[in-house]
Amino acid sequence: MQARSPSDELVAVYDAAGAVTGVAARGEVYARSLWHGSAGVLLRSGDGKRVYVHRRSPEKLVMAGLHDCWAGGVVGPGETPERTAARELAEELGVSRVPLQPLFALDWDEAAQVPGGPRCHLFAFEARWDGPVVHQPSEIVCGGWMGLGELRARLADPDWPFVPDGRLLIERWFAERGGQPAATA
């Protein structure tokens, strides 16, 4: 049986206010800049001092080969953002059955500045984990734990290839903590 293309995957379509309005193929959502939802999990060490940072596969449909500190993906039909976050954390990093702490939600509307840019409601969660991390090879090529201060310094480098929506989320996360890489916040 031939595998379906990632662009054929069905995702929930939202309106600008954040209500689910229907379903469309991922490729159509991206091509038409339709509002959709995405949930991500910031995986932190048990003591909160480190974050798991990974590099996306060069075969990814969007943002291929970039770094990210959020395990996540698009909200599927009938899924809640929390269910999406748990599913993506298990698929991408092999971490399951951990409590997810809801953090915040924000809108990312690149189409307002760049015609054809993505429009996405981003739902952020956090989990703590000290166990093994197992990458899904089709999604992630490498990764490792990074101290919060080091992550903050790397993000200050405009040449570090980091996913734009992940940057938006982690900058908000740091801002909510007074800009400090607090260990247990």
Better pLDDT: 65 or 93: 93
Q: Which pLDDT value is given to residue 5?
A: 80
CA dist list (Å): 1 to 4, 139, 141: 9, 21, 25
- pTM across the whole model: 0.90
pLDDT (tens digit per residue) in 42-82: 999 999 999 999 999 988 777 878 999 999 999 999 999 99
Report whether pLDDT(9) > 50: yes
pLDDT (tens digit per residue) in 116-155: 888 999 999 999 999 999 999 989 999 999 999 999 999 9
Q: Which pLDDT value is given to residue 180?
A: 53
* C-alpha to C-alpha distance for 185 and 164, rounded to whole angstroms: 24
CA neighbours within 13 Å on the CB side: how many for 4?
8
Reported confidence tier of residue 7, pLDDT bands at 50, 70, 90: confident
Mean pLDDT over residues 154-170, rounded?
94
User: Which residue type occupies 155?
Assistant: L
Report whether pLDDT(20) > 50: yes
